[in-house]
Amino acid sequence: EADIYQTPRYLVIGTGKKITLECSQTMGHDKMYWYQQDPGMELHLIHYSYGVNSTEKGDLSSESTVSRIRTEHFPLTLESARPSHTSQYLCATNGGLAGETPTDTQYFGPGTRLTVL
């Protein structure tokens, strides 16, 4: 069982609000990821990090931002939420150093279901 936590699990918020989705892990993994997933659709990578002070944008353009000040935390922030941001956000980690080995496995958190009214 992977020790990766996301809060809140569910969030309903009005348009224009600033929100931060929390992700924390206790495995000491260097690499962390944020994915966005809509119902019945594939996961899309929106941000990733190789380690402290390392953040990169993923394949899917996102208005969110991330930070990695500590190894165990990888929060995602939306400065001004819009209905188009309604989705499930999944945080994941991957053990090992940069340069994934074939046996690495991504461990996912339980996700945050965000609804913007």
Partner 1 sequence: KNQVEQSPQSLIILEGKNCTLQCNYTVSPFSNLRWYKQDTGRGPVSLTIMTFSENTKSNGRYTATLDADTKQSSLHITASQLSDSASYICVVSDRGSTLGRLYFGRGTQLTVWP
Residues found near partner 1 in the complex (CB under 8 A): 4, 6, 40-45, 48, 90-92, 98-100, 102-111, 113
Region label for 59, one of left (φ > 0), alpha (ψ between -120 and 50) or beta (otherwise):
alpha
Query: Residue 93 CB, nearest distance to partner 1 (Å)?
Result: 11
Query: Residue 5 CB, nearest distance to partner 1 (Å)?
Result: 11
Question: Cis ω on the peptide bond leading into residue 8 (within 30° of 0)?
Answer: yes
Query: Residue 90 CB, nearest distance to partner 1 (Å)?
Result: 5
Give the residue with the Cβ less far from partner 1, 73 or 113: 113
Give the residue with the Cβ less far from partner 1, 79 or 100: 100
Give the residue with the Cβ less far from partner 1, 13 or 43: 43
Paired with 37 in beta bridges are 88
**Structure-token pair, residue 34:** 């944020």
| Residue 117: other Cβ atoms inside 10 A | 10
**CA distance readout (Å), 96 to 19, 32, 46, 99, 102:** 30, 11, 21, 8, 11
Query: Residue 105 CB, nearest distance to partner 1 (Å)?
Result: 5
Give the residue with the Cβ less far from partner 1, 80 or 96: 96
